[in-house]
Amino acid sequence: MSATIDAAGTATRSQAGTWQIDPAHSGVEFAVTHLMISKVKGRFTDIVGTVETDGTPEGSKIKVEIGAASVSTNDDARDAHLRSPDFFDVAKFPKIRFVSTAIKSRGDTDFRVMGDLTIRDVTRPIEMEVSREGSGRDPWGSDRAGFSATVRIDRRDFGLTWNQVLEAGGVMVSNEVKLSVDVELTHKAE
C-alpha cells in the first residue's frame, strides 16, 4: 500500500511483504460535539497492526488492533467514564479492531479502504479516505511510509448509546464521531 522513494525522488512500486505499524509514530484520534456547542477530542495511544502487501494497493490487507483502555481526553473522570460499560466497557472488550476487505487506488497518493470495524462486540463495515503522506528509507535501513485516514461513524451503530438529554434541547454527546488515523509503517529492507 505504499511506495518507496528512490534517490531521484521518484515513487517506485512498494516492497511486498509485511509492513508493521510503528506505534511510537502512529495514533488514532476522535472528535465529538459536546453539549451541542463545542468539540471534544481524544486519542487512543495503544495501536498495533500490519499491512500485508504484494506491492499493490489492491493486493494489500490491513489489520489493526487498538487498546480500548488507552483512550485519553486529558480528563481523568471522562476517560474513566469512556472505559466503563456506558461506552467501551474495556474490561469485557479490551480491543477495537479493523480488518480491511478491499483497497482501491484513487490516484498516486489517495486510496479508499473498505473494511470491518469492531467496537465492543459489534462489527460494521466502514469506508475510509486514505492519503499517502510520504515514504523513504530511515537511517537504520528500514523503509518507512506514512498514511493518514479519516472516517465518520455513528457511535450508536457500535453499541455506544449512552447520552443525556439537555434541558434546553439536544444531547450531551453527538452521535457522529470523526476518526482521524495517522500511521507510520516500517519494512525492514532485505
Q: What is the pLDDT of residues 5-33, one digit of tens each?
A: 333 333 345 688 899 999 999 999 999 88
Task: Please calculate the CA angle 108-100-132 and round it to the nearest 5 degrees.
Answer: 25
56: pLDDT strictly greater than 80: yes
Can you list the alpha helix ranges (DSSP code H) found in the chain?
76-83
For residue 113 the three cell numbers come to: 479502504
Residue 6, pLDDT score: 38
Tell me the pLDDT of the chain averaged across its residues: 86
DSSP symbols for 160-178:
-----B-TTSSBSB-SEEE
Identity of the residue numbered 5: I
Give 38's pLDDT tier (boundaries 50, 70, 90): confident
**Is the predicted pLDDT of residue 142 greater than 70, yes or no?**
yes
Tracing cell 503522506 back to the chain, one arrives at: 133
Percent of the chain predicted with pLDDT > 70: 85
Residues 6+ apart with CB under 8 A from 38: none
Alpha carbon distances (Å) from 44 to 5, 7, 16, 29, 68? 30, 35, 29, 6, 7
- Among 92, 23, 46, 74, which Cα is nearest to 83's? 92
* C-alpha distances in Å from residue 150, one per residue of 20, 123, 128: 20, 18, 6
Instruction: State the SS3 of 41-58.
Output: EEEECCEEEEEEECCCCC
Examine the pLDDT at 48 and tell me if it is beyond 50. yes
